[in-house]
Amino acid sequence: MSVETGSSARLPDGTRLDRPWIESHIPHQGSMCLLDEVLSWDAVRIRCRATSHRFADNPLRAHGRLGAACGVEYAAQAMAVHGAVMAQISGTLARGGLLTSVRNLVLRVTRLDDLDSDLIASAERVAGDEGSTLYEFTVSSDGRELLTGRAGIVFGVERR
């Protein structure tokens, strides 16, 4: 289990859970990898930090802005990182999954790109089995909740 220390969390073997580790363990690469580091994690939850919401070249920007609903992708990437961390510590390969549903989404702001503080994407696994997982998520900044919801992930589905 990691401890939040103000820098990237680590795996039990000391590996830092920073951007290079994240990029090598989730499908999102380059500017589409939105997260900078894992702040803390345990068997059911994860907290990640991101600064990419402020980047003019953020691939999710449309019409000169980054809408709040894009925060779901930040949370989904945190869920993917959580799965990769759990696989790493259990000595297995992470299973690919697809985001299949978002429910109870509450947006408390209209956009993310006008926030000066870093984003914190948090996810907690509330249910799951071999075929699917349900997470509750929050994206916050400077201690303020920006969006919350639940997301369903299904494993073993081939992409077309």
Q: Domain of 120: which CATH number?
A: 3.10.129.10
31 occurs within a structural domain:
yes
Q: What is the pLDDT of residue 130?
A: 85
Task: Return the amino acid letter for 4.
Answer: E
pLDDT recorded at residue 7: 75
Residues near 19 by beta carbon (within 8 Å), at least 6 away in sequence = 33, 35, 36, 37
Residue 1 has pLDDT above 50, yes or no: no
pLDDT (mean) for 136-155: 97
Q: What is the pTM of this model?
A: 0.92
Q: Where are the beta strands (DSSP E) in the chain?
A: 37-41, 45-50, 97-107, 119-128, 132-141, 144-155
**Can you give the residue range of the structural domain that contains 114?**
19-155
What is the total count of domains within the chain?
A: 1
